Homo-oligomer: A and B are copies of this chain.
Amino acid sequence: MPADLSRLSLNQATTKYWTLCDAIDGCARAGIPAIGVWRDRLAEAGVAAAARMLRDAGLHCSSLCRGGWFPAATRAERAARIDDNRRAIEEAAALGADVLVLVCGPAPDRDIRAARAMVEEGIAAILPDAIDHGVTLGIEPLHPMFAADRSVITSLGEAVALAERFDSPRVGVVIDAYHVWWDAGVYDLIQRCGRRTVAYHVSDWIVPLPDVLNGRGMMGDGVIELRSLREAVDAAGYRGFIEVEIFNEAIWNMPGDQVVSLMCERYLEHVAPIQDQYPSKKRTPAIKDASP
Protein backbone atom coordinates (compact mmCIF):
# COMPACT_ATOMS: atom_id res chain seq x y z
CA MET A 1 0.00 0.00 0.00
CA PRO A 2 1.55 3.35 -0.97
CA ALA A 3 1.79 6.09 1.62
CA ASP A 4 -1.39 8.17 1.53
CA LEU A 5 -0.64 11.76 0.64
CA SER A 6 -4.18 12.41 -0.59
CA ARG A 7 -4.83 15.20 1.95
CA LEU A 8 -1.40 16.85 1.82
CA SER A 9 -0.88 20.30 0.35
CA LEU A 10 2.32 22.29 -0.13
CA ASN A 11 1.90 25.89 0.92
CA GLN A 12 4.21 27.89 -1.30
CA ALA A 13 5.71 29.71 1.67
CA THR A 14 7.51 26.45 2.54
CA THR A 15 9.50 26.56 -0.72
CA LYS A 16 9.91 30.30 -0.82
CA TYR A 17 12.47 30.46 -3.62
CA TRP A 18 10.44 28.34 -6.00
CA THR A 19 8.31 30.10 -8.60
CA LEU A 20 4.74 28.89 -8.90
CA CYS A 21 5.80 26.81 -11.92
CA ASP A 22 8.65 25.25 -9.89
CA ALA A 23 6.27 24.47 -7.04
CA ILE A 24 3.67 22.90 -9.32
CA ASP A 25 6.35 20.70 -10.88
CA GLY A 26 7.72 19.83 -7.44
CA CYS A 27 4.29 18.73 -6.22
CA ALA A 28 3.82 16.60 -9.33
CA ARG A 29 7.20 14.88 -8.79
CA ALA A 30 6.37 14.15 -5.15
CA GLY A 31 2.78 13.00 -5.71
CA ILE A 32 1.33 15.88 -3.68
CA PRO A 33 -2.22 16.62 -4.88
CA ALA A 34 -2.67 20.25 -3.76
CA ILE A 35 -0.94 23.56 -3.33
CA GLY A 36 -1.48 26.75 -1.33
CA VAL A 37 -0.63 29.66 -3.64
CA TRP A 38 0.82 33.03 -2.64
CA ARG A 39 -0.27 36.15 -4.47
CA ASP A 40 3.22 37.51 -5.18
CA ARG A 41 4.15 34.30 -7.01
CA LEU A 42 0.74 34.28 -8.66
CA ALA A 43 1.23 37.82 -9.99
CA GLU A 44 4.62 36.80 -11.34
CA ALA A 45 3.11 33.85 -13.23
CA GLY A 46 -0.09 35.62 -14.30
CA VAL A 47 -3.49 34.46 -13.08
CA ALA A 48 -4.72 32.88 -16.32
CA ALA A 49 -1.42 31.09 -16.92
CA ALA A 50 -1.37 29.88 -13.33
CA ALA A 51 -4.89 28.50 -13.56
CA ARG A 52 -3.90 26.66 -16.75
CA MET A 53 -0.71 25.26 -15.18
CA LEU A 54 -2.66 23.96 -12.19
CA ARG A 55 -5.26 22.36 -14.45
CA ASP A 56 -2.65 20.78 -16.70
CA ALA A 57 -0.83 19.36 -13.69
CA GLY A 58 -4.08 18.09 -12.14
CA LEU A 59 -3.14 20.04 -9.02
CA HIS A 60 -5.83 21.39 -6.68
CA CYS A 61 -5.52 24.88 -5.17
CA SER A 62 -6.21 24.44 -1.46
CA SER A 63 -5.80 28.11 -0.61
CA LEU A 64 -4.81 31.53 -1.86
CA CYS A 65 -2.64 33.53 0.55
CA ARG A 66 -3.56 36.15 1.38
CA GLY A 67 -6.29 38.72 1.73
CA GLY A 68 -7.07 40.72 4.84
CA TRP A 69 -4.94 43.53 6.30
CA PHE A 70 -8.08 45.60 6.85
CA PRO A 71 -7.25 48.18 9.56
CA ALA A 72 -5.76 51.46 8.42
CA ALA A 73 -5.60 55.01 9.70
CA THR A 74 -7.77 56.64 7.04
CA ARG A 75 -10.99 55.82 5.27
CA ALA A 76 -9.19 56.03 1.91
CA GLU A 77 -6.57 53.52 2.98
CA ARG A 78 -9.22 51.15 4.27
CA ALA A 79 -11.09 51.42 0.96
CA ALA A 80 -7.88 50.62 -0.92
CA ARG A 81 -7.40 47.50 1.21
CA ILE A 82 -10.95 46.41 0.44
CA ASP A 83 -10.34 46.88 -3.27
CA ASP A 84 -7.27 44.71 -2.98
CA ASN A 85 -9.31 42.03 -1.23
CA ARG A 86 -11.82 42.14 -4.09
CA ARG A 87 -8.98 41.45 -6.52
CA ALA A 88 -7.85 38.58 -4.31
CA ILE A 89 -11.37 37.13 -4.43
CA GLU A 90 -11.30 37.22 -8.23
CA GLU A 91 -7.94 35.50 -8.23
CA ALA A 92 -9.13 32.82 -5.80
CA ALA A 93 -12.15 32.20 -8.04
CA ALA A 94 -9.92 31.93 -11.12
CA LEU A 95 -7.76 29.30 -9.41
CA GLY A 96 -10.73 27.44 -7.92
CA ALA A 97 -9.11 27.87 -4.50
CA ASP A 98 -10.84 26.23 -1.55
CA VAL A 99 -10.32 29.36 0.53
CA LEU A 100 -8.94 32.88 0.49
CA VAL A 101 -6.87 33.13 3.68
CA LEU A 102 -7.42 36.39 5.57
CA VAL A 103 -4.49 37.63 7.63
CA CYS A 104 -6.40 40.44 9.21
CA GLY A 105 -3.65 43.01 9.81
CA PRO A 106 -2.37 45.10 12.74
CA ALA A 107 -3.84 48.26 14.26
CA PRO A 108 -2.58 51.55 12.78
CA ASP A 109 -2.21 52.92 16.33
CA ARG A 110 -2.59 51.74 19.95
CA ASP A 111 -6.33 51.14 19.63
CA ILE A 112 -6.56 47.40 19.05
CA ARG A 113 -10.31 47.35 19.73
CA ALA A 114 -10.98 49.87 16.96
CA ALA A 115 -8.79 47.80 14.63
CA ARG A 116 -10.82 44.70 15.41
CA ALA A 117 -13.96 46.58 14.40
CA MET A 118 -12.26 47.55 11.13
CA VAL A 119 -11.58 43.87 10.45
CA GLU A 120 -15.23 43.02 10.92
CA GLU A 121 -16.29 45.93 8.68
CA GLY A 122 -13.78 44.85 6.05
CA ILE A 123 -15.05 41.29 5.94
CA ALA A 124 -18.64 42.55 5.78
CA ALA A 125 -17.68 44.76 2.83
CA ILE A 126 -16.15 41.94 0.77
CA LEU A 127 -18.53 39.13 1.69
CA PRO A 128 -21.01 39.92 -1.12
CA ASP A 129 -18.14 39.66 -3.62
CA ALA A 130 -17.04 36.36 -2.09
CA ILE A 131 -20.59 35.02 -2.41
CA ASP A 132 -20.87 36.23 -6.02
CA HIS A 133 -17.62 34.51 -6.93
CA GLY A 134 -18.24 31.36 -4.89
CA VAL A 135 -15.13 32.02 -2.81
CA THR A 136 -14.84 31.08 0.87
CA LEU A 137 -13.11 33.57 3.18
CA GLY A 138 -11.00 32.04 5.95
CA ILE A 139 -10.24 34.15 9.03
CA GLU A 140 -6.82 33.06 10.30
CA PRO A 141 -6.01 33.89 13.91
CA LEU A 142 -2.28 34.50 14.22
CA HIS A 143 -0.14 33.81 17.26
CA PRO A 144 -0.44 36.65 19.81
CA MET A 145 3.21 37.54 19.21
CA PHE A 146 2.02 38.97 15.87
CA ALA A 147 -0.73 41.11 17.46
CA ALA A 148 1.16 44.36 16.93
CA ASP A 149 2.43 43.88 13.39
CA ARG A 150 0.35 41.28 11.53
CA SER A 151 -3.05 40.48 13.00
CA VAL A 152 -5.30 41.86 15.69
CA ILE A 153 -7.16 38.54 15.52
CA THR A 154 -4.98 36.62 17.96
CA SER A 155 -6.86 33.56 19.14
CA LEU A 156 -9.04 30.81 17.79
CA GLY A 157 -11.83 31.89 20.14
CA GLU A 158 -11.81 35.38 18.70
CA ALA A 159 -11.71 34.08 15.11
CA VAL A 160 -14.58 31.63 15.50
CA ALA A 161 -16.71 34.20 17.32
CA LEU A 162 -16.13 36.59 14.41
CA ALA A 163 -16.98 33.91 11.83
CA GLU A 164 -20.13 32.99 13.76
CA ARG A 165 -21.33 36.59 13.64
CA PHE A 166 -21.38 36.41 9.82
CA ASP A 167 -23.08 33.01 9.91
CA SER A 168 -22.38 32.41 6.23
CA PRO A 169 -20.95 29.29 4.56
CA ARG A 170 -18.61 31.73 2.82
CA VAL A 171 -16.93 32.84 6.07
CA GLY A 172 -14.90 30.29 7.99
CA VAL A 173 -11.78 29.90 10.08
CA VAL A 174 -8.26 28.87 9.08
CA ILE A 175 -6.60 26.88 11.85
CA ASP A 176 -2.81 26.85 11.85
CA ALA A 177 -1.40 24.63 14.59
CA TYR A 178 1.58 26.97 15.05
CA HIS A 179 -0.67 29.89 15.88
CA VAL A 180 -3.07 28.18 18.30
CA TRP A 181 -1.39 25.18 19.96
CA TRP A 182 -0.62 27.08 23.21
CA ASP A 183 -4.29 27.83 23.95
CA ALA A 184 -5.68 25.99 26.99
CA GLY A 185 -9.05 25.97 25.21
CA VAL A 186 -7.79 24.80 21.83
CA TYR A 187 -9.56 21.42 21.75
CA ASP A 188 -12.90 22.91 22.79
CA LEU A 189 -12.46 25.70 20.26
CA ILE A 190 -11.66 23.28 17.43
CA GLN A 191 -14.86 21.46 18.30
CA ARG A 192 -16.75 24.76 18.30
CA CYS A 193 -15.31 25.64 14.87
CA GLY A 194 -16.67 22.36 13.50
CA ARG A 195 -17.39 22.73 9.82
CA ARG A 196 -16.51 26.42 9.94
CA THR A 197 -12.89 25.23 9.73
CA VAL A 198 -12.10 25.85 6.08
CA ALA A 199 -8.36 25.19 6.08
CA TYR A 200 -5.83 23.49 8.33
CA HIS A 201 -2.12 24.37 8.36
CA VAL A 202 0.76 22.62 10.10
CA SER A 203 4.40 23.24 11.01
CA ASP A 204 6.08 22.99 14.42
CA TRP A 205 7.22 25.17 17.35
CA ILE A 206 10.96 24.77 17.90
CA VAL A 207 12.50 25.35 21.36
CA PRO A 208 14.08 27.79 21.69
CA LEU A 209 12.31 29.77 19.00
CA PRO A 210 14.98 30.68 16.42
CA ASP A 211 13.16 33.77 15.12
CA VAL A 212 9.80 35.45 15.68
CA LEU A 213 8.93 35.73 12.01
CA ASN A 214 10.86 32.96 10.25
CA GLY A 215 11.44 30.42 12.99
CA ARG A 216 8.81 27.79 12.29
CA GLY A 217 9.95 24.20 12.34
CA MET A 218 9.37 21.09 10.24
CA MET A 219 6.76 18.80 11.80
CA GLY A 220 8.41 16.62 14.44
CA ASP A 221 11.16 19.11 15.26
CA GLY A 222 9.13 20.93 17.91
CA VAL A 223 6.66 20.53 20.75
CA ILE A 224 3.22 20.76 19.12
CA GLU A 225 0.94 17.75 19.54
CA LEU A 226 0.34 17.63 15.80
CA ARG A 227 -1.44 14.30 15.55
CA SER A 228 -3.88 15.06 18.41
CA LEU A 229 -4.73 18.46 16.96
CA ARG A 230 -5.29 17.04 13.46
CA GLU A 231 -7.49 14.31 14.92
CA ALA A 232 -9.52 16.97 16.75
CA VAL A 233 -9.93 19.06 13.59
CA ASP A 234 -11.09 16.00 11.67
CA ALA A 235 -13.38 14.84 14.49
CA ALA A 236 -15.03 18.27 14.40
CA GLY A 237 -15.95 17.74 10.74
CA TYR A 238 -13.06 19.05 8.64
CA ARG A 239 -12.51 17.12 5.42
CA GLY A 240 -10.16 19.44 3.52
CA PHE A 241 -6.45 19.50 2.80
CA ILE A 242 -3.67 19.71 5.35
CA GLU A 243 -1.27 22.41 4.22
CA VAL A 244 2.34 22.57 5.33
CA GLU A 245 3.33 26.21 5.74
CA ILE A 246 6.83 26.78 7.12
CA PHE A 247 8.62 30.13 7.30
CA ASN A 248 12.22 29.20 8.05
CA GLU A 249 15.44 30.49 6.49
CA ALA A 250 17.28 27.18 6.92
CA ILE A 251 14.49 25.27 5.17
CA TRP A 252 14.26 27.87 2.42
CA ASN A 253 17.95 27.38 1.75
CA MET A 254 17.57 23.61 1.22
CA PRO A 255 16.92 22.28 -2.31
CA GLY A 256 13.15 22.41 -2.90
CA ASP A 257 12.77 18.73 -3.74
CA GLN A 258 14.55 17.80 -0.53
CA VAL A 259 12.18 20.02 1.48
CA VAL A 260 9.16 18.44 -0.20
CA SER A 261 10.46 14.94 0.41
CA LEU A 262 11.15 15.65 4.08
CA MET A 263 7.75 17.30 4.41
CA CYS A 264 5.98 14.18 3.04
CA GLU A 265 7.90 11.94 5.44
CA ARG A 266 7.22 14.11 8.47
CA TYR A 267 3.57 14.59 7.52
CA LEU A 268 3.07 10.84 7.50
CA GLU A 269 5.04 10.35 10.72
CA HIS A 270 3.57 13.19 12.81
CA VAL A 271 0.30 14.42 11.32
CA ALA A 272 -1.51 11.90 9.12
CA PRO A 273 -3.83 9.17 10.40
CA ILE A 274 -1.79 6.14 11.48
CA GLN A 275 -3.07 4.02 8.57
CA ASP A 276 -1.60 6.56 6.14
CA GLN A 277 1.98 6.00 7.32
CA TYR A 278 4.63 4.29 5.26
CA PRO A 279 4.08 0.50 5.34
CA SER A 280 7.58 -0.03 6.80
CA LYS A 281 6.63 2.05 9.82
CA LYS A 282 3.30 0.34 10.49
CA ARG A 283 3.25 -1.48 13.77
CA THR A 284 2.57 -5.21 13.63
CA PRO A 285 -0.54 -5.94 15.69
CA ALA A 286 0.37 -7.05 19.21
CA ILE A 287 -1.67 -10.26 18.86
CA LYS A 288 0.71 -11.42 16.14
CA ASP A 289 3.76 -10.86 18.35
CA ALA A 290 2.28 -13.19 20.94
CA SER A 291 1.63 -16.07 18.52
CA PRO A 292 4.49 -18.46 17.63
List chain A positions with a Cβ less than 8 A from chain B.
106-107, 109-112, 116, 143-145, 147-149, 153-155, 157-158, 181-185, 205, 207-209, 212, 222-225
Contacts and interface: CB of A to CB of B under 8 A. Distances in A.
Contacts of A212: 145, 208-209, 212
Contacts of A209: 145, 148-149, 212
B148 A222 contact: yes
Contacts of A154: 182-184
Contact of A182 (B109, B110, B147, B225): B147
By DSSP majority rule, is chain A's interface helix, strand, loop, or mixed? loop
Given A154-B183, A184-B155, A111 B148 contact: no
Contacts of A205: 147-148
A185 B183 CA distance: 14
A147 to B, nearest CB: 4
- Among A110, A181, A212, which residue has the most Cβ atoms of chain B within 10 A? A110
Contacts of A153: 184
A107 B223 contact: yes
Given A154-B184, A184-B154, A212-B212, A145 B148 contact: no
A116 B185 CA distance: 12
Nearest to A141: B184
A179 to B, nearest CB: 9
- Among A148, A154, A185, which residue has the most Cβ atoms of chain B within 10 A? A148
Contacts of A106: 207
8 contacts: A144-B144, A147-B182, A147-B205, A148-B182, A148-B222, A148-B223, A153-B184, A155-B183
